[in-house]
Structure 1
Amino acid sequence: MRDALGVGVAVGLSGFAFGVTAAGSGVSALQACVLSLLVFTGASQFALVGALAAGGNPFTAAAGAFFLGTRNAFYGLRLSQLLAVPRAVRPLAAHWVIDETAAVALAQPDRRSARLGFTVTGLTLYVLWNLTTLLGVLGAEAIGDTAAWGLDAAGPAVFLALLAPMLRTGTERAVAVLAVVLGLGLLPVLPAGLPVLVAALAAPAILWLKGRRK
């Protein structure tokens, strides 16, 4: 309960940053809230509104968000065995399969604790994420131009803050550096939204190089 509530509250509050970012990119309050209700995976949501803010094609922006979200399918493969929830509940449980719920559930010593951790984290995070998304959008609309206040940087800042602690090994850091080089280097060349897709090639490239050295 302690772990689940801690993660749920800490990450759930960052929905405010998404709401601000969404409003700054021209997404309406209704659209932002529907994204949080139905997509409910922060990285994909930030990627989508970020690409739209940069003038990207909606289909390209959606493709980038989709590829970022595919990692949740791999979490689901592991969690389906660990949690063993009834078949009727699986569609609802699948909607809560994200980084945070997977991390809390997989850290528990037994199935009962894993189920409790998954459920409490998912419920807390879902409620807070959607509530703070709405507050973020309304707050951004109230203050006007988010760029004038520097709030357009809130989304990228939160995304980097979530990502940085995950880069523990040399391989992970190398992938991150190459991805940054590819993404920034291709910004002037490719349409908005495409550089992030190309940057995803950093992972297989680094792994291939690592395999060649071995």
Structure 2
Amino acid sequence: MSIAHLDSRPATITPISRVGDAAPAAPRIRAVPEGTEARGFVLYVGIDEDKAAAAGTDLGRIVEALKALAAELAPSSETYAAVALAPRGAGGRDVDVVRLALQDPTALAKHRQIPDAQDRARDGVVVDLSRKRVLLDNTAANLTYKEFELLQYLVLREGRTIERAELISALWSAGDEEVPNERTIDVHVRRLRSKLGDYEDIVRTVRGVGYRFDRHADVSVRHTSTPSPDLF
């Protein structure tokens, strides 16, 4: 069964028709083949449990809220929710991973049409501690010195949640021009994630505590001769 996409243009108020006037045109529905009709729609929501928790909620509550909204707007509507499961650490935007996991025809077609992009995606992330650089799909990420230091600190303590206070103490000194606080850490993490692109989730937020580096299958770390300070 094909998926119809409803027109997303803002709705307008249609004046009441007078006798003899032509009937107002029905809302236009795109990509509906001849002989078919729209029977509903699909809304893909890309978010994992960690991001939901950081927003103060969880996937179940989001689903129930959306179902309640549909029932409020159209009491006769029927809803069905399906959770998209993907391999841990699957790269790409959350919503794209969801669409592929749920076999969205458009996403599958696009996935098949760009094999070169898929090949590049397999290069993954290389955190090169010896050369102080990060490669994303074989392209150097434009990280500032402080952003790299922040990522390196998390990488060397892989799997351990680091509190913001510890990051401030370790990465800033009394002589720095910038006077850091917890908000400073959040800003630097946000900028770092934006530069990591599709791989932003290697830096995880642990709500109410701090941040953690999570190594995925497509992430490799090139260490210097100095071992991690947390390994004995």
Instruction: Please give the range of the TM-score, normalised by the shorter of the 2 chains.
Output: under 0.3
Structure holding more helix per residue: 1
Greater relative contact order (Cα < 8 A, sep 6+): 1
Report which of the two structures shows the higher radius of gyration computed on alpha carbons.
2
